[in-house]
A and B are shown apart, each in its own frame.
Chain A
């Protein structure tokens, strides 16, 4: 398995534009997580899904953020409109339920909003 795959790796966009980040979890993993990493706040959980259903989106900072998981192999995180303070590295991670709940991270998307 290629692991968790995120795209794009880097995104530079102008303030006010829509940004869509994509994630393909590891096949067979039931859980998918979106984290945001900044120097000030560290790794923050934004939202997570179980079997494609959003379970907890309390970490989503504002209504400008939305996430979907239309099937077991794909998820998107959308920011509309984007703002400079959204600049961060966004990680997607997946895991299986059960005894070993290691979260496997993707390579991340470095978002810069200018």
Chain B
């Protein structure tokens, strides 16, 4: 089955700097790659996703890149703000066919 590895497990950045979180997956059939943000004590919520027919997607300060050949994808957050502090999870699935398999999460701390 699918295995998703996520790095780093913790990340601290200064406010205004960029943050990058990287994930790798094992199943070449996977074609849907969402990212979830989980604030302390709350539920995971989707912030951005990418499908295998595109290499990059951007939404304001967040962007995701996908390299299908290397089987890795990354989340980029620019101009970080204190409210970006949370745990971020990457996930992979075969769209419409298999459930999401999550990475172990990255705890991002943005220091003001």
Contacts and interface: CB of A to CB of B under 8 A. Distances in A.
Nearest to B45: A105
Contacts, number: 44
B103 A42 contact: yes
A102 B34 contact: yes
A31 B99 contact: yes
B1 to A, nearest CB: 8
A65 B103 CA distance: 23
Contact of A33 (B34, B43, B99): B99
B99 A48 contact: yes
Interface residues of A, number: 20
Contacts of B46: 102-103
Nearest to B96: A97
B96 A98 contact: yes
Interface of B: 32, 34, 42-46, 49, 89, 93, 95-96, 99-105
Given A33-B99, A35-B102, A42-B103, 7 more contacts: A42-B102, A42-B105, A43-B102, A99-B95, A99-B96, A103-B46, A103-B99
